Structures are given as structure tokens and as C-alpha cells.
């Protein structure tokens, strides 16, 4: 466990393995779930056999700081930049998963000469600014205005019983299929998280809930589509064709807009692709073709 004070906050990170560096930008929007129980990075040992794997908690997520300020994609990108410089990483490969995807894209567009390869997993260049999330975006902006107008404590009291924004665009079955062997793991983990979060104080719940809201707001008007043709480094796009959270057409669109990128489609896979064997196999082959 390591912590670095960068860009005005404490960023938690971990390093595993040896070899060419890969830095992973996780998905999700932080909050209590990611903080009471560490993220499940059970895929790391497989990739660390041939590479140095750096994982970190984004701001307002996991064990990193929850600052009381508006979050933006550029701010999240600067966090990544500061961490890469702090660790003196020489041209790392960047993996952006889900909400980590736009950060990895924004970073590559601004510092392309400092990136070896780019891997985009179940993500999009316009993660919230698409037709699948129109109603959710309207509600997100309304909730964020409540936060700005009233502050975190009062906003939390007003919003605490509102349904998750995910419910505005996810179908009843959720984000889509997961590997069979993970189903009991996910069920047990979700139950443990539920028990742990129930014991939090109202103040803690407010901090974490507003962290999620700030993180989501960082993406609400972001659309990097018009600049994707600027990416010239080797790029791999991996997407499940049964993803309900970031639907497959968005992943296909992403691969079509990045010149010479490779698209790997995982049949019958939902959103959490880092737990699918084909995802890890594809990443290994792409990073170490020999």
C-alpha cells in the first residue's frame, strides 16, 4: 500500500510484478462501496507475470481523498499525469476500464508521445453524452446543482432516498452477464459491502454519496469523439456484446473512430470485462506480442 500527495489530494496506489509498465484506470464512480471494501483486482496476478501493473484509486473513490470541489475530466486526467510522473513511468501502456476510459483517452490525446499503447475496456468516448443516458444526464445535472447550491450535508439529506442514476438507464437485469464462476463471489461481496455500509455514520455516507455525484458530473458533457482520429499509437478496444451499461454500439463506434485500432468482441459478456479470461488473454497478446 502506497499513498502519494498529488494535485492537492492523497492518491492511493499499488504496484505488482515486473516488466514494461501498465497503469490501470478503474471504472465506477467511487463512493462507499469502493471505500469500505477494496476493489476486486483479482485479474492483476495474471497480467503481472510479464508486466509491472500499477493500480490506483481515483479521487473520491476507494482509499484516495474525497475533496469538496467540483470534479472534471481534466482534473481526473491531471491526477493520472501527476501519478505517472511521480512514479517515473517510462511510456506506460494505459488501460482505461468503463469510467476510466475517457480519462485514458483524454490523457493520450494530451500526452500521446508518453504512452506506449492504449487499451479501452467496456468504455466510450462519450460515456454520459449519448442517447442511452439522456434522462440520467438531466437528473445528474439537477442533483449536482442541488449539491452546489446547498452544500454536501443538506444536499445529501434531500437526495439520500432518491433512486440511483443507474436505474434511469440500466434494465432490471443490470449491467449484463458475468462469468458463471464469479456469480457467488459477487453475491458474497455485495452482501459484505451492504453490511459494512450500514454501519457508516450519516456524515460518512454524505461524503461518499457526494463523491459519487461529483465523479459522475465530471463526464456529463464530455465527448472526445471529434479528436479520436488524432490517436496514432497502437490501440485495443475490448467490449462485450451484451453490455447493458455501456452498450456495444458505443464500443464499436470507439474502435471505428480510432485509426487502425483493434476491436475484440467478447460474446455474451456484460460490463465487468476485466474478469473474463478472454479480456486478459487479449491484453497479454496485445502488450507482449512476442
| Global confidence as pTM | 0.97
pLDDT tens track for 207-233: 999 999 999 999 999 999 999 999 999
Contacts of 1 (CB under 8 A, 6+ apart): 12, 14
Band (172; pLDDT cuts 50, 70, 90):
confident
CA atoms in the 13 A half-sphere facing the CB of 121: 24
pLDDT tens track for 58-82: 999 999 999 999 999 999 999 999 9
Contacts of 245 (CB under 8 A, 6+ apart): 98, 122, 166, 169, 170, 175, 176, 270, 271
The domains found in the chain, sorted by start residue, are 2-287 (3.40.50.1820)
- Residue 6, beta-bridge partner list: 9
Closest CA to 47 of 23, 13, 72: 23
Amino acid at each position: 500500500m502506497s499513498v502519494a500527495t498529488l494535485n492537492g489530494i492523497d492518491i492511493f496506489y499499488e504496484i505488482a510484478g515486473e516488466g514494461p509498465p501498465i497503469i490501470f484506470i478503474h471504472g465506477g464512480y467511487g463512493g462507499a462501496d469502493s471505500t469500505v471494501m477494496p476493489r476486486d483486482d483479482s485479474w492483476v496476478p495474471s497480467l503481472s507475470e510479464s508486466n509491472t501493473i500499477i493500480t490506483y484509486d481515483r479521487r473520491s473513490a476507494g482509499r484516495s481523498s474525497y475533496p469538496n470541489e467540483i470534479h472534471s475530466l481534466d482534473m481526473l486526467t491531471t491526477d493520472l499525469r501527476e501519478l505517472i510522473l511521480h512514479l517515473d513511468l517510462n511510456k506506460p501502456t494505459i488501460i482505461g476500464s468503463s469510467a476510466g476510459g475517457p480519462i485514458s483517452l483524454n490523457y493520450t490525446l494530451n500526452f500521446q508521445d508518453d504512452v506506449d499503447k492504449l487499451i479501452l475496456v467496456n468504455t466510450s468516448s462519450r460515456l454520459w453524452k449519448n442517447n442511452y443516458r439522456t434522462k440520467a444526464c438531466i437528473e445528474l445535472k439537477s442533483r449536482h446543482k442541488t449539491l452546489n447550491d446547498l452544500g454536501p450535508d443538506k444536499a445529501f439529506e434531500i437526495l439520500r432516498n432518491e433512486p440511483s442514476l443507474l436505474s434511469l438507464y440500466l434494465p432490471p437485469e443490470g449491467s449484463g452477464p458475468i462469468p458463471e464462476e464469479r456469480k457467488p463471489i459477487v453475491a458474497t461481496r455485495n452482501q459484505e459491502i451492504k453490511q459494512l455500509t450500514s454501519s457508516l455514520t450519516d456524515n460518512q455516507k454524505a461524503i461518499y454519496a457526494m463523491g459519487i455525484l461529483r465523479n459522475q458530473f465530471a463526464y456529463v458533457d464530455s465527448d472526445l469523439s471529434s479528436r479520436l482520429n488524432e490517436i496514432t499509437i497502437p490501440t485495443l478496444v475490448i467490449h462485450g456484446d451484451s453490455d447493458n451499461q455501456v452498450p456495444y454500439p458505443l464500443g464499436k463506434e470507439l474502435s471505428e473512430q480510432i485509426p487502425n485500432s483493434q476491436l475484440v468482441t467478447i460474446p455474451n459478456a456484460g460490463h465487468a470485462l476485466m474478469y473474463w479470461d478472454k479480456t486478459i488473454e487479449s491484453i497479454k497478446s496485445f502488450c507482449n506480442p512476442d
